[in-house]
Amino acid sequence: MNETALPACTPDTGTDPQTLAEATVQAMYPRDNASQGLGMKILDIAPGRARMSMLVRSDMLNGHATCHGGFIFALADSCFAFACNSRNLNTVASGCSIEYVAPALRNDVLTAEAQERSLSGRTGVYDITVNNQDGKLIALFRGKSYRIKGEVIAGLHAAP
């Protein structure tokens, strides 16, 4: 995602939702130190949806030699953040829950996929699944979002 890929948008007529989702990610990712530092990659983005991956590194292992739950959570949480901000309206997490289904091991490549289940008023609910490279389910995450003031990219709106 380089700078030249930035969408040619006209605030007057509005931007189509898919272009808006891609532009939002391009604006958010470079200032998201956390997701970058953990080596997360954005695979796919669409309005209300996102798909991301992360390699389980040795510095992510806990005392049981499996991936610390906090990093599995962080991957799901970032995926949730990109999905719920994909309409260019600043949105934060109000709460999240995660169920750990199977352990993730060193060098696993985890893929998180976020889907919007509900969006009404300022609040939304998103389901994120985390699978490993063999398609095995590792965790189920549910995020509750809350829209705050402002836009990710000021002045850019979705076409009506």
Nearer Cβ to its own copies, position 13 or 39? 39
Nearer Cβ to its own copies, position 107 or 123? 123
Q: Taking each helix axis from N to C terminus, what angle separates 69-84 and 17-28, rounded to the nearest 10 degrees? A: 140
Neighbours of 160 (CB within 10 A): 5
Closest C-alpha among 136, 66, 154, 61 to residue 104: 66
Nearer Cβ to its own copies, position 10 or 36? 36
Q: Rule CB under 8 A: say whether 151 interacts with its own copies.
A: no
Structural tokens at position 77: 């949480």
Applying CB under 8 A, what is the total number of residues that bind its own copies?
Answer: 53
Q: Rule CB under 8 A: say whether 6 interacts with its own copies.
A: no
What is the pairing mode between strands 41-46 and 49-55? Answer: antiparallel
Angle CA 74–78–80, to nearest 5? 115
What character string, x for contact with its own copies (CB under 8 A) and - otherwise, covers 90-119?
A: x-xxxxxxxxxxxx-------------xx-
Number of residues written out for the chain: 160
Greatest CA span in the chain, whole angstroms? 55
Q: Rule CB under 8 A: say whether 53 interacts with its own copies.
A: no
Output the smallest distance, CB 153 to its own copies, in A. Answer: 11
Give residues in contact with its own copies (CB under 8 A): 27-29, 31-35, 37, 58-66, 68-71, 73-75, 77-78, 81, 85, 90, 92-103, 117-118, 120, 123, 125, 127, 137, 140, 142, 144, 152
